[in-house]
Amino acid sequence: MAADTQSPGVPSTVSGATLTEPDWLAARIAEMGRAWGTTQPRIAGTLWWCMVASALVEQIARAYAHREPVPEPTLDRLDCEIRGDGGIERVHIMPPVRTPAAAADSTPTGSTSATALRETLAAVIAPVAAVSGAGVPALWAIAADAIGNRALDAGAPEAGARLAQEIGGKLPVPRFVQIGGRTFVRRISCCLVFEVPSCQMCTSCPKRPAAERKAMLANLAGES
């Protein structure tokens, strides 16, 4: 279980650029491992990235879903809240200083924001992979599923697919499936939590047999 208090010597917030520093990443991933009870950096790093990716894309996916002006998530505009277990609780995207004329040019589907998000994801994924040993494609897949889930949370799963298409590059497009009258992300990534002692595989994990996963999601849809 994650720790409840802030780690000694770790600030409560850090800048976006901090997420690219190998020594800082190694320390936070190690904290994540201790909190979850694993000594394997690949598992701890994957769990850490699952949380960070979700926080990084949340504001963008919500803006796309609601067709609102989209913030530009460049590293220098990110303010990241640190959890007690070394993870990221949430990411705040600070607005740039703009003149009224420039602000009027903001659009709800800005490709500039998608490009900025692609560059930010790439800048963080590379050192996370290097520090933890997790595969780069696996980390991109986690980001895709995070976009899908955050768009789904915002009530517009199609916005997640649109955002991913605009991001492009190494990012897969999230997929969705209807089961029991409810929409789920058809995941392409695994968080590896089932490799942690005493933890079980996620209901929607793509490593589950398809029939078993569908039956479990149908039960979940019925409960909701």
What is the per-residue pLDDT across 66-90, written as a single tens digit (0 to 9) for each? 999 999 999 999 999 999 999 999 9
- pLDDT 10s digits, 159-186: 999 999 999 999 999 999 999 999 999 9
Choice between 58 and 99, residue whose per-residue pLDDT is larger? 58
- 43 token code pair: 């598992």
77 falls within a domain = yes
195 falls within a domain = no
User: Number of structural domains, the chain?
Assistant: 1
133 falls within a domain = yes
Mean predicted lDDT score pLDDT of the chain: 90
pLDDT of res. 111: 83
113 falls within a domain = yes
pLDDT of res. 97: 53
- Predicted confidence band at 224 (pLDDT cuts at 50, 70, 90)? confident
- pLDDT 10s digits, 6-34: 444 445 899 999 999 999 999 999 999 99
Q: How far apart are CA 101 and CA 193, in angstroms?
A: 48
pLDDT of res. 95: 86
Q: How far apart are CA 178 and CA 183, in angstroms?
A: 5
pLDDT at residue 110 above 80?
no
121 falls within a domain = yes
Domain with 166, as residue range(s), is 13-98+108-173
154 touches 60 (CB < 8 A): no
201 falls within a domain = no
219 falls within a domain = no
58 falls within a domain = yes
